[in-house]
């Protein structure tokens, strides 16, 4: 019986690859002899691969019946790692965050020198702070305040992990998966270590060639985690897809809508939110309210609005009677909430008693709530 090429749409879980799969990459994205799963099919579609060579039954592998998608069971050792306590020297959440960023900064720098990414090390660094934020969710409102221009990449990676874990937890994902999603968020931009530092540090607008070079980081990130058994396949797919957009404007494949997994969308929202809410060398940060408003309106159609709403509820949920700081530096109290414009209520300015309908006056916005 000869080996045959099959369309990706015809593959079944349990098929075995007869050849390495490349996609304009130095290393294979899926290795020969891999037993294919549903998540591998997502990877193949993400890279636009139409068909692959499948090993015949006669050569030692019997085609397996279709697998049920079930929750992966964690070993006791992995559970212990995922639930480890915070380092003793970190006496506050902010100091734990700072210690975590510094540890990851050093680890990320080693990737630039050619060190292989060790997922177990990253988990040891990041899981305590992710767990701490899950237990103290109210502090997420201050997360973007912790970030600095210096060591931005490390701040961004750790913060995206925290945000992704919080969003997925709020959406009802099981605990083990929440922590995996958090680690996927940390690892999503690990491939930036392979991008020329001059491009990363550039303050001026990037050229089209430089932009295309930066876009390669998602493939680098995917390749850096592709062989790790500590990262589930659906998380690897999410890392690869975290710059895809619902309207097809993203990369690397320009996927649309349901072609993009929900976990990928969680990473996307966390990534964009933190980038826009943080100080960067080439632009000032926006308030969390402004960022979510921009993601809702100016970026409409790019993100899953359900996930945007979850992020909004975590960070900026408002209610009548809440006191807020306006972009005019005035303090006001919310007296009415518009259903269609949740970030632009009617407020009463303390002191003057002036009423301002922020849905009508777009020049004024909320920058902080108390």
| Average confidence (pLDDT) over 327-338 | 91
Range name among 55-59, 72-76, 165-169, 315-319 with the lowest pLDDT average: 72-76
Shared domain check, 10 and 147: no
Output 86 or 331, whichever has higher pLDDT: 331
Indicate the residue among 314, 342, 357 that finishes a domain.
314
Shared domain check, 361 and 244: no
167 in any annotated domain: yes
Q: To the nearest 10°, report the CA torsion of 271, 189, 96, 262.
A: 50
Shared domain check, 114 and 249: yes
CB under 8 Å to 248, separation ≥6 — which residues?
254, 255, 256
What band does 17 get if pLDDT is binned at 50, 70 and 90? confident
Domain enclosing residue 347, as ranges = 323-369
What band does 203 get if pLDDT is binned at 50, 70 and 90? confident
Shared domain check, 52 and 144: no
Shared domain check, 21 and 92: no
pLDDT surpasses 60 at 62: no
pLDDT surpasses 80 at 63: no
Please state, in angstroms and rounded to a whole number, the distance separating the CA atoms of residues 214 and 211.
5
Phi then psi for residue 124, to 5 deg, are -60, -40
Output 168 or 284, whichever has higher pLDDT: 168
Shared domain check, 89 and 47: no
Given phi > 0 = left and psi -120 to 50 = alpha, else beta, which region is 33? left
Range name among 38-42, 77-81, 288-292 with the lowest pLDDT average: 77-81
What band does 24 get if pLDDT is binned at 50, 70 and 90? low
Output 350 or 40, whichever has higher pLDDT: 350
Range name among 20-29, 191-200, 235-244 with the lowest pLDDT average: 20-29
pLDDT surpasses 50 at 60: no
**What is the number of domains present in the chain?**
3
pLDDT surpasses 80 at 370: no
Percent of the chain, pLDDT > 90?
51
Q: Which two tokens stand for residue 22?
A: 């490349």
| Residue 256, strand partner residues | 247
pLDDT score recorded for residue 78: 36
Percent of the chain, pLDDT > 70?
87
pLDDT surpasses 50 at 79: no
Shared domain check, 361 and 234: no
Given phi > 0 = left and psi -120 to 50 = alpha, else beta, which region is 216? alpha
pLDDT score recorded for residue 282: 67
pLDDT surpasses 50 at 359: yes
Shared domain check, 213 and 160: yes
Burial classification of residue 255, based on how many CB atoms lie within 10 Å of its CB (0-12 exposed, 13-18 middle, 19 or more buried): buried
| Average confidence (pLDDT) over 236-258 | 95
Peptide bond into 252 cis (omega under 30): yes
- Encode pLDDT of 102-156 as tens digits: 999 999 999 988 899 999 999 999 999 999 999 988 889 888 888 888 899 999 9
Please state, in angstroms and rounded to a whole number, the distance separating the CA atoms of residues 202 and 305.
32
Output 72 or 267, whichever has higher pLDDT: 267
Q: Which two tokens stand for residue 178?
A: 């929440």
Shared domain check, 364 and 269: no
pLDDT surpasses 70 at 275: yes
Shared domain check, 147 and 55: no
pLDDT score recorded for residue 36: 83
């Amino acid at each position: 019986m000869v080996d045959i090429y099959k369309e990706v749409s015809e593959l079944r879980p349990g098929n075995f690859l007869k050849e390495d799969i490349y996609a304009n990459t130095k290393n294979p994205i899926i290795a020969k002899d891999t037993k294919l799963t549903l998540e591998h099919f997502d990877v193949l579609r993400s890279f636009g691969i139409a068909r692959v060579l499948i090993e015949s039954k006669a050569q030692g592998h019997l085609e397996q019946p279709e697998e049920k998608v079930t929750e992966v069971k964690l070993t006791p050792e992995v559970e212990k790692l995922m639930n480890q306590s915070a380092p003793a020297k970190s006496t506050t959440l902010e100091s734990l965050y700072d210690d975590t960023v510094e540890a990851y900064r050093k680890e990320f720098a080693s990737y630039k020198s050619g060190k292989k990414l060790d997922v177990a090390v990253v988990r040891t660094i990041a899981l305590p702070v992710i767990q701490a934020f899950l237990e103290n969710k109210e502090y997420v409102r201050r997360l973007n305040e912790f970030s600095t221009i210096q060591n931005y990449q490390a701040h961004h990676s750790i913060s995206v992990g925290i945000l992704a874990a919080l969003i997925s937890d709020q959406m009802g994902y099981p605990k083990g998966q929440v922590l995996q999603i958090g680690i996927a968020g940390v690892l999503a931009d690990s491939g930036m270590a392979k991008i020329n530092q001059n491009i990363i540090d550039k303050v001026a607008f990037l050229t089209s060639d430089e932009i295309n070079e930066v876009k390669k980081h998602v493939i680098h990130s995917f390749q850096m985690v592709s062989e790790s058994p500590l990262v589930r396949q659906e998380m690897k797919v999410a890392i690869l897809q975290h710059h895809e957009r619902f309207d097809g404007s993203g990369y690397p494949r320009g996927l649309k809508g349901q072609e993009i997994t929900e976990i990928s969308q969680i990473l996307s929202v966390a990534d964009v939110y933190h980038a826009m809410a943080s100080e960067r060398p080439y632009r000032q940060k926006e308030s969390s309210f402004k960022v979510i408003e921009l993601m809702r309106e100016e970026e409409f159609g790019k993100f899953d609005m359900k996930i945007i709403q979850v992020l909004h509820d975590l960070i900026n949920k408002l209610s009548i009677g809440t006191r807020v700081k306006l972009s005019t530096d005035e303090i006001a109290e919310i007296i009415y909430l518009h259903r269609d414009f949740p970030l632009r209520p009617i407020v009463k300015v303390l002191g003057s008693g002036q009423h301002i309908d922020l849905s009508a006056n777009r020049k004024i916005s909320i920058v902080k709530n108390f």
